[in-house]
Amino acid sequence: MQNRFPLWKNLLILFVFFVGVIYALPNLYGDDPSVQVSPGRSTRLDQPQLTRIENALKNAGLVPKAIDRDEKNNILIRFDGTEAQMQAADLLREELGSGYTVALNLAPATPSWLNALGASPMYLGLDLRGGVHFLLEVDMAAAIKQAQERYISDIRSALRTAKIRYRGVVGEQGAIRVKLRDEKARAAAGQVIEDEFRGLVVTEGTDSSELLVQISQAEQREIRKFALAQNMTTLRNRVNELGVAEPVIQQQGDNRIVVQLPGVQDTARAKEILGATATLEFRLVDVEHDVQQAVQGHVPAGSRLYRERDGTPVLLKRRIIVTGDQIVDASSGLDQNSGSASVFVTLNGIGAKKMGKTTRKNIGKPMAVVFIEHKTETRIVNGKKVRKKQKAEEVINIATIRDTFSKRFQITGLDNTQEARNLALLLRAGALAAPVDIVEERTVGPSLGQDNINKGMISVVVGLLLVLVFMGFYYKVFGLVADMALVFNLVIIVAILSMLQATLTLPGIAGIVLTVGMAVDANVLIFERIREELRNGNSPQASIYTGYEKAFGTIFDANITTLLVALVLFGFGTGPIKGFAVTLSIGILTSMFTAILGSRMVINWIYGGRRVEKLAI
């Protein structure tokens, strides 16, 4: 028969429709206002804490919709309304104290049976869901200064390796002053520095035994470029590790980074995420000198006084072995010998070389991990906002070097497995190459996001209804079939976006609205060709067959050219343009499937396999 699909093709189309409905359904359930409780570096969330949270909520008369625990050991408490959510957040912040992070969030209200099938709602962008927007400025002067400090350490090592005796290598404003014993040593040192460090410019100092070393302009540009790229990577890794869905992290200018966190409702949580990005340093512990003498102010040359987390003083060597930006991977686990919590660390090539050389010479000596966090506080002074930078340093771990190691090693002596997981997250995500300051912060409230969603949905519904009415009136039964294909098309678009976990923004909604208008073009071409065949005297069955077969080439060409343009927009465009291109591309592909196969299947059910005298077209 001309207008009959084989059984397998009917089943395939119905299966696609069924899967589309299942994976589009989660988007109908919306979100629950939620409170997320996360442990700090030295705290954990176990059953006693969970019981404590439940009792606190019960005593306050707050009845949660559900209390869940995710794979990262965070507790998610769902509520029916935002008022209860706000009250619970304030209550838990007071109850749990500063050792825990209590944040407002929006959690998908997808039923468990859909979750079991892997069906999740699509992500919504900042303009739809609400969230926070930050503009961060990278402290490039600090990046240059940190590079200068690294060069000071490296120059000392190079001079010692070359057996050139020096009186001092000190940093000053924009330069490094190398003090040698005589003019001969100066010449030899200058040659070593020029050979070892291509990014440095060596000139004569104020006297015959000094060298003035400066970082070249080209090297400074590379340092700034690296600092920006490294900070963007680190921020992206941190935010992804901490579970913020579809963050936007983009460069703006030469020294600024835009960070958008959809779904985060309070800036305190967002600042916690960004503030967690810090620097790590590995240093040897100074065991030759008395730490109590250092506490009283007599710190020996070549050492610095630090404090452990509990306030215990510890004396560390000034020379840095490895910094956090040289760590390429880290994972938590258990020490095979003691069974205690530990973190397994992997270094890059440069870091492995330095670590191997240091541990080979210092077996049996302790090594410390220093956590350094840069914070900026804004205070009102004389009616003006004044930003004050603070640098917090603490020793988070001290362990004895048992054997020579370089590329891969483990950190032991941690309090519990939760602390090990937190430290692994910190190490794995990397360290900032330079401190960042929040120069602008903006909160997009969920009410604004909902307003945008409502307007976008109204535009889709109005556009859809106009097309449905026109097609049904103009093409009668065939028009109603095209309407069914159009609705089918929208369902599949939403399902694909959900399955890909793509982010829907206002430009994305614009792409869907455009698809609604374009999707019926294929059916219009097919139906007009059927009309033409009927006017030429062909039978209804032959007209249907010819209309679908002959119009396919035109439909394919028209849609492929539009798809190519959409792919170009995606390849060369930025955020909003890419969102538009994604929904447009998906819409073009799905509209071809529904218009050519979906509508023909229904037409075959109505007219196929029987004698037809007249078509309602």
pLDDT surpasses 70 at 425? no
Tell me which residue has tokens 């004044």.
386
How large a percentage of the chain has pLDDT more than 90?
A: 3
283, 367 Cβ separation under 8 angstroms: yes
pLDDT at 22: 92
Q: Which amino acid is at 124?
A: L
pLDDT surpasses 60 at 45? yes
For 319-387, give the secondary structure using H, E and C.
Answer: EEEEEHHHEEEEEEEECCCCCCEEEEEEECHHHHHHHHHHHHHCCCCEEEEEEEEEEEEEEEECCEEEE
pTM of the model: 0.61
Mean of the per-residue pLDDT values for the chain? 80
CA distance 76 to 66: 8
pLDDT surpasses 60 at 500? yes
User: What's the whole-number mean pLDDT along residues 523-532?
Assistant: 86
Nearest to 138 by CA among 409, 433, 521, 489: 433
User: Which two three-digit tokens encode residue 457?
Assistant: 């949905």
The per-residue pLDDT for range 435-456, each reduced to its tens digit, is 777 788 777 765 656 677 777 7
pLDDT at 145: 84
CA distance 32 to 43: 27
How many residues belong to the chain?
617
In sequence order, what are the residues at sequence separation of 6 or more whose Cβ sits closer than 8 angstroms to the Cβ of residue 325? 230, 430, 431, 433
CA distance 498 to 300: 61
User: Which two three-digit tokens encode residue 186?
Assistant: 């100066």
Instruction: Say how far residue 187 (Cα) sits from the centre of its chain.
Output: 50
Tell me which residue has tokens 């917090």.
392
Q: Which amino acid is at 92?
A: L
Q: Which amino acid is at 206?
A: T
Model confidence band, residue 18 (pLDDT cutoffs 50, 70, 90): very high
pLDDT surpasses 70 at 53? yes
Most confidently modeled of 203-212, 260-269, 410-419, 467-476? 467-476
The per-residue pLDDT for range 545-558, each reduced to its tens digit, is 888 888 888 888 88
Instruction: Tell which wins on pLDDT, 336 or 410.
Output: 410
> What b/e string do you get for 424-451 counting C-beta neighbours within 10 Å, with b at 16 or more?
bbbbbbbbbbbbbbbeeeeebebeebee
pLDDT surpasses 60 at 168? yes
Nearest to 105 by CA among 253, 265, 227: 265
User: Which two three-digit tokens encode residue 337?
Assistant: 């010998």
Could you give the strand order of the β-sheet that contains 175-180, starting from the edge strand earlier in sequence? 166-172, 175-180, 210-215, 200-204
pLDDT surpasses 70 at 381? no
pLDDT at 413: 64
What is the secondary structure of 109-146 as a DSSP string?
---HHHHHTT--PPEE-HHHH-EEEEEEEE-HHHHHHH
CA distance 362 to 404: 8
pLDDT at 28: 86
Burial class (CB in 10 A: 0-12, 13-18, 19+), 262: buried
Nearest to 368 by CA among 392, 345, 344, 399: 399
The per-residue pLDDT for range 120-135, each reduced to its tens digit, is 888 777 777 777 888 8
- Domains with residue ranges and CATH for the chain: 7-26+445-607 (1.20.1640.10), 32-109 (3.30.70.260), 141-220 (3.30.1360), 278-431 (3.30.1360.200)
What is the secondary structure of 187-250 as a DSSP string?
HHHHHHHHHH-TTEEEEE-SSTTEEEEEE-HHHHHHHHHHHHHHHHHHHHHHHHHTT-SS-EEE
Most confidently modeled of 51-60, 197-206, 268-277? 51-60
Cβ atoms < 10 Å from Cβ of 498: 22
CA distance 394 to 280: 10
pLDDT surpasses 60 at 574? yes
Nearest to 557 by CA among 510, 525, 517, 601: 525
Q: Which amino acid is at 217?
A: Q
CA distance 18 to 519: 20
Give the CA dihedral 208, 211, 216, 220, nearest 10 degrees: -150
Nearest to 489 by CA among 508, 506, 464: 464
- Bridge partners of 322? 282
Question: How many helices (H) and strands (E) are present in the chain, helices listed first?
Answer: 17, 22
pLDDT at 315: 92
**Distance linking the first and last C-alpha atoms of the chain:** 21
The per-residue pLDDT for range 391-418, each reduced to its tens digit, is 778 887 788 888 888 888 877 666 677 6
Nearest to 333 by CA among 412, 440, 231, 437: 412
Q: Give the angle 471-472-473 at the CA atoms, nearest 5°.
A: 95
pLDDT surpasses 70 at 189? yes
